[in-house]
């Protein structure tokens, strides 16, 4: 324990006082302000026009003002926070010869990696909670709506999912910092994987679906083929943590969203229901809809960290 | 015996880094650990600390098996790696504070200890200087201060005088000798500087290509290799003699 606390403290201190934290924080805070401001302005103009907005406060996060909403923004650029906090966690220590010094002290070896991961998660949590609170306050002043209890709960769950999502990328970058001896390589590898998983998987999903179940636009395609096409596309795109996260948070933040599936995959009754009943889902029901997504996000985070842990414990450290 | 190994072996794939090493070091002595680069000295030290798993054989350090009780062993053994590294944005004080925290020493005790240790290694004036601005000699002395933080029974020093100017090297050697005499610390010293080793060590071991080919006091080794000579042989001559035989 003593080692874990010592490493955690030192790492947290390093993170919070580093330039990269300040730059990232400034960047994220600035963009968040702009998006939420846009959303607020948009809402102020249209709030009267909306017949009955049930959860105006949450719209601050889910309304795309000009380009994207807050939720979309975090889905795209949240990973960057995780990657930047962790890509040199282990290999920098190795390069400067401090890793051997730390583990030759009377501490368990896992104290190093646990302390680093926990410090990273703490930094992310602090950063994210602060931004969320500031935006809330901002919206409160701009739009003049007070959040209800359910909205606060939804925001809290959104916060938790986001922290797990970013922690996944942190774990991934720490894994790369263990695998690659060079800091530049691990940075590049993490960014490459981020771009691949976030942007190319959806393209790949389309390609995979077209290959396995092609839809012929000229001739009539059987409904089964269309269904299969949609299923494959959905299945493949769910390999991307970004899609997982987007689906999960969009449903949590927007109570009107009743499913993450596309219309084509709904059963007839489900389709009828979603067309007929315009009432929002309860929080429990919203959670139920995206429960698999949330579990999958937590699972990949844990698996990613477990792999780094195992590799780090077995690796030989000489410097 | 404070350090005792029996048939300690480490293999990397087909290569044998340490080959059936049987080493005995007595409490309170300075043991000079000699050998060319890549002979397996550092690997041996890492195995004795429990940082690397031996492929075969066993070791006992301070009566503990480093394979099973690595943390306990590391409580008693201070290890100064070759090219010890520091966090460049910390000053000497903070660097020592971190080591103290890793050793579970409370803040108040640590502060007193840090003052003493900085005094001992002659860095009191540079306590607030960032380690990035330290010279090699200062880094090496700070490294020794960090190692002494836990008040170890045994010191493993891997090339402590490598790349130092003569004055700095003499300081370090003097420091090692005084730690051995005043605090009764057992020292396992790996070095290429044979005259320094000869000056301070009670016994030496010569390791070549993973095997310990000679072990004993310098006089005994000289007798063994040159027979009864009229003059005293230096460690350098003894070392070269063994080296040529292999």
pLDDT above 80 for A276: no
Instruction: With cut-offs at 50, 70 and 90, classify the pLDDT of residue A42.
Output: confident
Q: Which residues of A touch B (CB under 8 A)?
A: 2-3, 5-7, 9-10, 14, 93, 96-98, 100-108, 316-319
**Which chain B positions have a beta carbon within 8 Å of A105's beta carbon?**
74, 99, 102-103, 150
Name the minimum distance, in Å, from the CA of B147 to any CA of chain A.
Answer: 9
Suggest the residue from A13, A104, A315 to mutate for an interface test with chain B (most B CBs closer than 10 A).
Answer: A104
Sequence spans of domains, chain B: 3-83+152-245
* d(C-alpha B203, C-alpha B194), whole Å: 12
C-alpha to C-alpha distances, B56 to A313, B15, B49, B213, nearest whole angstrom: 20, 14, 15, 19
B51 vs A104: CB contact, 8 Å cut-off?
yes
**Which chain B positions have a beta carbon within 8 Å of A96's beta carbon?**
85-88
Instruction: With cut-offs at 50, 70 and 90, classify the pLDDT of residue A163.
Output: very high
**Which chain A positions have a beta carbon within 8 Å of B86's beta carbon?**
96, 98
User: Per the structure block, which two tokens stand in for B199?
Assistant: 């000056």
**Which chain A positions have a beta carbon within 8 Å of B102's beta carbon?**
2-3, 6-7, 102, 105-107
| B36-51 per-position pLDDT tens digit | 888 888 999 999 998 8
B74 vs A98: CB contact, 8 Å cut-off?
no
So what's the pLDDT on residue A230?
83
**Pair B188, B45: CB distance under 8 Å:** yes
Instruction: With cut-offs at 50, 70 and 90, classify the pLDDT of residue A48.
Output: low
Cβ atoms within 10 Å of B232's Cβ, excluding its own: 9
So what's the pLDDT on residue A263?
65
**Which chain B positions have a beta carbon within 8 Å of A14's beta carbon?**
89
A45 or A297: whose pLDDT is higher?
A: A297
B104 touches A at CB < 8 Å: yes
So what's the pLDDT on residue B224?
78
So what's the pLDDT on residue B230?
64
Percent of chain B with pLDDT over 90: 27
| B85-107 per-position pLDDT tens digit | 899 889 999 999 999 999 988 88
C-alpha to C-alpha distances, A22 to A9, A84, A98, A127, A301, nearest whole angstrom: 18, 12, 25, 10, 25
**Pair B25, B2: CB distance under 8 Å:** yes
B84 touches A at CB < 8 Å: yes
**Helix, strand, coil percent values for chain A (each to nearest 5):** 75, 0, 25
Q: Which of A217-231, A305-319, B71-85, B125-139 has the lowest mean pLDDT?
A: A217-231
B72 touches A at CB < 8 Å: yes
**Helix, strand, coil percent values for chain B (each to nearest 5):** 45, 25, 35
B88 touches A at CB < 8 Å: yes
**Which chain A positions have a beta carbon within 8 Å of B91's beta carbon?**
none
pLDDT above 70 for B67: yes
CA-wise closest residue to B212 among B2, B5, B46, B1: B5
Identify the closest residue of chain B to A110 by CA–CA distance: B71
pLDDT above 90 for A184: yes
So what's the pLDDT on residue A35?
82
So what's the pLDDT on residue A49?
59
B101 vs A316: CB contact, 8 Å cut-off?
no
For the segment B74-82, the average pLDDT, to the nearest whole number, is 91
pLDDT above 90 for A286: no
So what's the pLDDT on residue A74?
85
CA-wise closest residue to A45 among A143, A136, A130, A113: A143
So what's the pLDDT on residue A47?
66
Tell which CATH architecture fits domain B3-83+152-245: 3-Layer(aba) Sandwich (3.40)
Mean pLDDT of chain A: 85
| A213-270 per-position pLDDT tens digit | 777 766 666 777 788 888 888 888 888 889 889 888 888 888 777 777 666 677 777 7
**Which chain A positions have a beta carbon within 8 Å of B47's beta carbon?**
none
Instruction: With cut-offs at 50, 70 and 90, classify the pLDDT of residue A151.
Output: confident
| B220-233 per-position pLDDT tens digit | 888 777 776 667 77
| B163-179 per-position pLDDT tens digit | 888 888 888 899 999 99
Identify the closest residue of chain B to A100 by CA–CA distance: B81
Plot region of B117 (φ>0 → left; ψ -120 to 50 → alpha; else → beta): alpha
CA triplet A263, A265, A270: central angle to 5 degrees?
70
* d(C-alpha B215, C-alpha B204), whole Å: 6
Instruction: With cut-offs at 50, 70 and 90, classify the pLDDT of residue A199.
Output: confident
pLDDT above 80 for A51: no
The two beta strands, B3-12 and B24-25, are: antiparallel
Q: Torsion angle, CA of A300/A115/B83/B55, rounded to 10 degrees?
A: -60
Report helix, strand or coil for A281: coil
User: Per the structure block, which two tokens stand in for A259?
Assistant: 């499913």
Name the minimum distance, in Å, from the CA of B222 to any CA of chain A.
Answer: 34
């Amino acid at each position: 324990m003593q080692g874990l606390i010592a490493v955690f403290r030192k790492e947290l201190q390093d993170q919070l006082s580093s330039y990269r934290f300040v730059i990232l924080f400034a960047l994220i805070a600035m963009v968040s302000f702009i998006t939420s401001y846009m959303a607020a302005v948009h809402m102020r103009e249209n709030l009267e026009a909306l017949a009955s907005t049930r959860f105006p406060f949450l719209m601050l996060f889910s309304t795309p003002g000009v380009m994207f909403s807050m939720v979309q923004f975090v889905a795209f650029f949240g990973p960057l926070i995780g990657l930047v906090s962790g890509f040199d966690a282990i290999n920098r220590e190795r390069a400067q010869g401090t890793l051997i010094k730390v583990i030759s002290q009377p501490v368990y070896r896992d104290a190093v990696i646990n302390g680093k991961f926990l410090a990273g998660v703490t930094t992310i949590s602090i950063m994210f909670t602060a931004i969320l609170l500031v935006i809330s306050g901002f919206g409160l002043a701009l739009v003049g709506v007070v959040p209800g209890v359910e909205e606060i709960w939804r925001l809290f769950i959104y916060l938790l999912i986001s922290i797990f999502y970013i922690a996944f990328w942190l774990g991934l970058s720490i894994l790369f910092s263990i695998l690659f001896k060079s800091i530049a390589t691990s940075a590049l590898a993490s960014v490459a994987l981020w771009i691949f998983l976030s942007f190319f998987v959806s393209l790949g999903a389309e390609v995979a679906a077209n290959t396995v179940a092609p839809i012929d636009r000229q001739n009539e395609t059987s409904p089964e083929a269309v269904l299969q096409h949609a299923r494959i596309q959905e299945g493949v795109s769910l390999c991307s943590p970004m899609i997982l996260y987007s689906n999960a948070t969009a449903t949590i933040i927007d109570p009107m969203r009743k499913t993450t599936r596309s219309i084509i995959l709904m059963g007839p009754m489900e389709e009828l229901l979603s067309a007929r009943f315009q009432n929002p889902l309860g929080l429990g029901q919203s959670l139920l809809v995206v429960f698999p997504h949330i579990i999958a996000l937590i699972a990949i985070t844990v698996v990613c960290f477990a792999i780094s842990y195992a590799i780090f414990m077995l690796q030989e450290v000489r410097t | 015996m404070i350090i005792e190994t029996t048939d300690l072996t480490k293999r990397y794939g087909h290569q044998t880094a340490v080959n059936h090493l049987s080493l005995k070091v007595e409490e309170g002595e300075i043991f000079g650990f000699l050998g060319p680069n890549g002979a397996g000295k550092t690997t041996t030290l890492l195995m004795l600390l429990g940082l690397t798993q031996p492929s075969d054989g066993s070791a006992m350090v301070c009566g503990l098996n480093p394979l099973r009780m690595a943390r306990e062993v590391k409580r008693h053994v201070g290890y100064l790696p070759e090219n010890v590294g520091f966090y460049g944005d910390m000053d000497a004080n903070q660097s020592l504070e971190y080591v103290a925290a890793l050793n579970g020493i409370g803040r108040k005790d640590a502060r007193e200890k840090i003052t003493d240790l900085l005094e001992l290694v002659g860095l009191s004036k540079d306590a607030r200087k960032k380690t990035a601005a330290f010279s090699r000699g200062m880094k090496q002395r700070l490294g020794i201060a960090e190692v002494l933080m836990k008040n170890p029974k045994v010191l493993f020093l891997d090339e402590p005088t490598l790349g130092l100017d003569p004055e700095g090297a003499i300081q370090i050697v003097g420091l090692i000798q005084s730690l051995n005499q005043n605090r009764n610390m057992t020292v396992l010293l790996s070095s290429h500087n044979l005259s320094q080793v000869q000056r301070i060590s009670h016994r030496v071991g010569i390791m070549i290509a993973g095997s310990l080919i000679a072990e004993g006091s310098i006089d005994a080794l000289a007798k063994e290799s040159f027979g009864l000579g009229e003059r005293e042989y230096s460690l350098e001559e003894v070392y070269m003699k063994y080296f040529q035989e292999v």
